[in-house]
Chain A
Amino acid sequence: MPLDRPDLATQAPMRVDLQVIADMIQPGSRVLDIGCGDGALLEYLVHFKQVDGRGIELSQAGVNACVSHGLPVIQGDADTDLKDYPSDAFDYAVLSQTLQATRDPRRVLQQLVRIGKRAIVSFPNFGCWKVRLHLSRHGRMPVTAALPEKWYNTPNIHLCTILDFVELCQEIGIYIERGIAFAAGGKSWPIRSKRAANLMSEQGLFLLRRR
């Protein structure tokens, strides 16, 4: 049943990667959104896709905003709060733009494909040509639109490239069903050549399941 949010229809469009995630999710499914922020994706899914949605969010302000809007969200984080869920508890476990900020990304990925029949993971691609150019030209840690913080205040402690991510998935027995690349400005395309995507895209988004 949709939530009573008259502002929903008039609010600004969702972040472009969230819209792509939302489009991947089958209506009526069970979804866990890890790092759900202010609940934009979750609310969209509950409202327009009738999902049974849950959220986990680290920031108190985010959690309070979600719960105050009637969304079932708990205060917690990806590193510590996934182990309690039973296997296959959800149709989709979503981790958008959060993997790079976890302490143990490998463990988090394993948990995601355990508790979700499918996992949807997106992250900033450190292999993007802009990052490479920035580093080679200036010899300084790259600061880009997708990675706006300085090295000393970034929450992103485990950055990777698309190729790194694909390799880790292979190593720990995770099957990639789909990959989508995002350029600056939100243009996206299905990943066919991993090397090209690694060079051209600012963000990667992957639909995963365990083998």
Chain B
Amino acid sequence: MTAVLRMPAPARANLPGHRVVLGTEHELRLDCGIEFGPFALAYQTYGTLNAQRSNAVLVCHALTGDQFVAEEHPVTGKPGWWSTMVGPGRPLDTERYYIICANVLGGCMGTAGPMETNPATGKPYGLDFPVITVADMVRSQKMLIDHLGIERLFCVTGGSMGGMQALQWAAMYPEHVFAAVPIASAARHSAQNIAFHEVGRQAIVADPDWCGGDYLSQGKRPQRGLAVARMAAHITYLSEAALHRKFGRSLQDRQKVTYGFDADFQVESYLRYQGSTFVDRFDANSYLYITRAMDYFDLAAEHGGVLSRAFTGTKVRFCLVSFTSDWLFPTRESREIVHALNAAMANVSFVEIETDKGHDAFLLDEPELDKVLKGFLAGCAEHAGLDR
């Protein structure tokens, strides 16, 4: 493979934003049974918390996202992953709302994760890091919200795994959430999605530089494995139509095929580039842990297999959004949540947006998504009595 860079582990010491140590008094009880803490949580904020502390919006990031929602990314230099959505005058208006986004537990941008130093050994955790779940991520975020003195979040939102967290928040802390907006998400990870994740994980562990998970201590990084994992996953974020529209069968910098295994096609070159840039900013073990957390997500299972019981009597206002060409988190999955919320007599809006951009549509400029979110939040702000 070309262009896989040999770079040192990304420096995490001087990241912008905030970093707080939580769980100093009470440890975080993880689903796996471990009492975890104290632990660090890195987060970023935009806008100003009002005097009533009532305008906080928690943005939850997806599998490979991080807390740098709406600013230049400190490692890649690219715009924040949701800068289309978060900012002055945007749907998540920083002149009106106080936006919080924390790097998830198990992540690699300053929050406790397998890359961080294990206080017990003085070495990076590696596979000694406990297996975490989406609910654990949400518990850690609740500790952050408590730390910030916020009693109730005006809104919790996110796409994909971020949507799972939004659902988990609404189910676990309904009194502390006014509105929840899960986008392109599901109440459980499907067999097909677990299968894709397993392909990615196997690519990582098959890389000799993974060293049984201990690569950081040995001065290595499984970049080839991680890049392949990213390439496979990236296909699932797009759609057949979008791939065809972007690349078709076009060749990369050549007039005809080379009868070899170089990247003849543009789509190959594109995927290789996606893989190679990803390894600069992401940790392979984090990828294992976070994909696992998504695989384990099954909100109904915690409630006797009946999803509506997760929302019995809820006062949370929901807005679900799906995209027509998303085959990773298809509309069907959102509709199942809507049906459960109807059975719980919850206040729910649900919009399916027509697009050929696949799962990634939630990250891209989708005017219809902007309009829906803006309108939904404006309605919620009225009901919540949020001052302009």
Contacts and interface: CB of A to CB of B under 8 A. Distances in A.
Given A3-B382, A4-B382, A76-B350, A67 B342 contact: no
Contacts of B368: 64
Contacts of A3: 379, 382
Interface in A41-81: 52, 54, 60, 63-64, 66-76, 81
Contacts of A68: 371-372, 374-376
A81 B350 CA distance: 12
A86 B319 CA distance: 20
Contacts of B172: none
Interface string B331-350: 00001001110110101111
Contact of B379 (A52, A64, A69, A85): A69
B374 A72 contact: no
B335 to A, nearest CB: 8
Contacts of A63: 350-352
A1 B382 contact: yes
A75 B375 contact: no
Interface range on chain A (Cβ under 8 Å from partner): 20 to 34
Interface range on chain B (Cβ under 8 Å from partner): 20 to 34
A173 to B, nearest CB: 24
Nearest to B375: A68
Which of A68, A69, A76, A89: most chain B Cβ within 10 A? A68
A74 B376 contact: no
Given A63-B351, A67-B372, A72-B317, A84 B343 contact: yes
B237 to A, nearest CB: 23
Contacts of A84: 308, 339-340, 342-343
Nearest to B383: A1
B320 to A, nearest CB: 8
A74 B348 contact: yes
A67 B349 contact: yes
B339 A81 contact: yes
Interface of A: 1-4, 52, 54, 60, 63-64, 66-76, 81, 84-86, 89
